Every structure is written in structure tokens, then in C-alpha cells.
């Protein structure tokens, strides 16, 4: 069976990504939160908290986690998993850096 087609979209300059918080990126109907972690790695997740739609790009980043700005749920950025005692998961998107630019893999149906 065929995998869902993805396309890579250039969304930002790596050097311009903020440290300690996220950046909101829109690709068609998708709204993503882009994070540069202290490790230097870049990750992208759906920009809404599974609890009550808090904007994750406005959360505080600590290590590999972002804290939702609305009610402080702790979300593991690389996996999208909400940490205990809360539940839930945020969709993640593959990200890569090439020639100083951040590219995100988005599903074919997003365009």
C-alpha cells in the first residue's frame, strides 16, 4: 500500500528561530509550532494543545518539552506526547535543516 505522499516545505531561517519558545508557521490549512531545542534540533508539531487549543508556539520550552501557555500541560516535543498525569498527543511533523533553512514534511492532502 502506498505511503501518504509528503512534500517538503521551506518555512523559516534556522538562525531566526527563537530560543526558549516556538514559532507559528502556516502551510495552507495547517498551523504548526516550530521549535529549536537546546540540542539544536528542530521539531514541528500541530500548533494546538489537545486540552483546550492552547497555542503551543507561545509556550515555554525547557529541554525537550514545551509547556502549554494556557494550563501548563507538559508536552514532549519530539514525540508530541502529553506527559502524565495528563493525557493526549499532538501530531508531529518531520523537520530538517538544509543550507540554513528549515523544511517541514507535510502530507499531500494539505495543499
Instruction: Catalog residues that contact ligand FES under the rule CB under 6 A.
Output: 49, 51-54, 68, 70-71, 73
CA distance 45 to 31: 9
Complex with ligand FES: residue 54 or 80, whichever CB lies closer: 54
Taking the complex as a whole, the smallest distance from the CB of residue 49 to ligand FES amounts, in Å, to: 3
Complex with ligand FES: residue 17 or 70, whichever CB lies closer: 70
Taking the complex as a whole, the smallest distance from the CB of residue 30 to ligand FES amounts, in Å, to: 19
Taking the complex as a whole, the smallest distance from the CB of residue 87 to ligand FES amounts, in Å, to: 11
Residue 40's contacts (CB-CB under 8 Å, 6 or more residues apart) are none
**In Å, what is the CA distance from 104 to each residue of 27, 69, 98, 100?**
9, 24, 11, 13
Amino acid at each position: 500500500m502506498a505511503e501518504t505522499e509528503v512534500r517538503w516545505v521551506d518555512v523559516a531561517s534556522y538562525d531566526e528561530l527563537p530560543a526558549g519558545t516556538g514559532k507559528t508557521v502556516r502551510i495552507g490549512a495547517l498551523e504548526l509550532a516550530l521549535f529549536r531545542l537546546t540540542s539544536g534540533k528542530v521539531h514541528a508539531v500541530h500548533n494546538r494543545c489537545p486540552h483546550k487549543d492552547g497555542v503551543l508556539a507561545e509556550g515555554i520550552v525547557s529541554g525537550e518539552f514545551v509547556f502549554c501557555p494556557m494550563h501548563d500541560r507538559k508536552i514532549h516535543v519530539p514525540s508530541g506526547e502529553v506527559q502524565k498525569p495528563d493525557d493526549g498527543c499532538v501530531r508531529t511533523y518531520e523537520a530538517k535543516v538544509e543550507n540554513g533553512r528549515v523544511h517541514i514534511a507535510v502530507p499531500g492532502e494539505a495543499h
